[in-house]
Structure 1
């Protein structure tokens, strides 16, 4: 029921996905009158879906605290379906804050150490698609959280893009070790010395996102969200400039006709909808956030991300990686404590002598 267009897009998006994956079955949560009106046009989807009716939905501008207090919204019901095992993944174009809060409350985090999910996204680049996270869940992140993002991002990239050992970079204002704030420098130091089996590249800059320098780019949610919105706005700006340029005169219009196939291919590559679908990584369940303004094709791409994760072992991958990370921190803390005790004993011996 969420997003800018509601069932007109989400139901049609499910139908497009079903054309490619006919074995998928859908639960459609929301107002049965509005949903059934769309299903009446799509007999194949109607045969492969069930409508779970509720007349309550979370508004796009509703505060997360309000959404949590209401028990029978389409969003909360869909998330509960994942928790109970009725559904393998939930996909929503609705209120991001409410989706985040309800998912964390209902599904819980994968481990007690994780505080909040991170939102990942597929980012088009010269080599295909990279993964960027966090793009909006955590405004600030300490060094430990950035390393957790790296582990989760690597697992996501393996599952969705098929790269066995993805390269990882930390987004920074420069490539030198001395640049950036304390948290990103500390994360860089720990990742460079890591024993986690990660393919760590080092610092990357904003220009590396589209260059495809690394497979997974890690940053805090504030920086990631600004970068994402800037990139999407730039893509739309370029498309508008090209349209205006090719309408400027007869010769320009002729050029547009001649270059039509190339222009369509370029537009497809930079279309934000082509990479739509950001997973909330770190939860005990698959939750995918679609752009609120997504059309049916873009929404089907978000469902496809959920399908890819459901068919993979990425959840176990993340749990194992986080457990290894926690163990390495425990060992490091024990070594540091032992060194401190030894130093204290030596100092005490020197005083006696």
Structure 2
């Protein structure tokens, strides 16, 4: 079944060349956690990415969330503006062109960040968006549950002390003041070639690496996602496997594992093929972060491995919050606390 879906993709992609590890999460239990841990360890250390199948989040839930975001984008501008992301925060709506990852190139996408499942983060327009909050909250909880399973599998893979990762991620989606975990809804509008300046030099998301522990990404179609695999500088089109969720490691996980796991650079370009770029594209990203107060030290994660003995005794240890804010500052300047992960 998986092979037949891959063959349907006629583009030359990592998926079509079977160059992305595929990890089956079916029949989750203790033995499956051990297997998944081993497969994640191999995938993140060799490729930095993998595709998760049979992950337990129904397509219908994900598609319903995309529909809800479409309804939100159809609201009058004055209504959408009530939910715009404010300076110094990481939750809310961002319109196309507002984010410029390299400081100059507008990014052609609508995004909505949710950091906490409350009225401040989630639109609750009873007349125009009656189901938005319920459906997005349910999906966010599903992604949190999937992330919890992955954290358990990583504990097995890295032979950490019991609950080492779980305890350090106990506040996911509790608000960016305590944990930077974020559910991000994304819509890339169609690129119409006869609209002056719309596609020339434009990007959908600039090149970057994610900051946190790992990212889960669900997407509805092929739409220009590219990565640089470890050891290379060539941009590779990832491709699309329907029903799968892509996982990629973040910088904090790379630091924690002394770069055993890779944080791969990635971007979303405007596709060359007209039939692809002239249709809109949806995705949902779940950025899994540790609690802000967590100290990021390989000595905690590699306690049972030889790498731990190589630590410098005078190595300075930073909290997750300090490291993430440094990344924001490097990207946007010293005054910014905004996130631009894709």
TM over 0.5: no
More helix, by proportion: 1
If the length of structure 2 is used for normalisation, what is the TM-score? 0.28
If the length of structure 1 is used for normalisation, what is the TM-score? 0.28
Bigger radius of gyration, 1 or 2?
Answer: 1
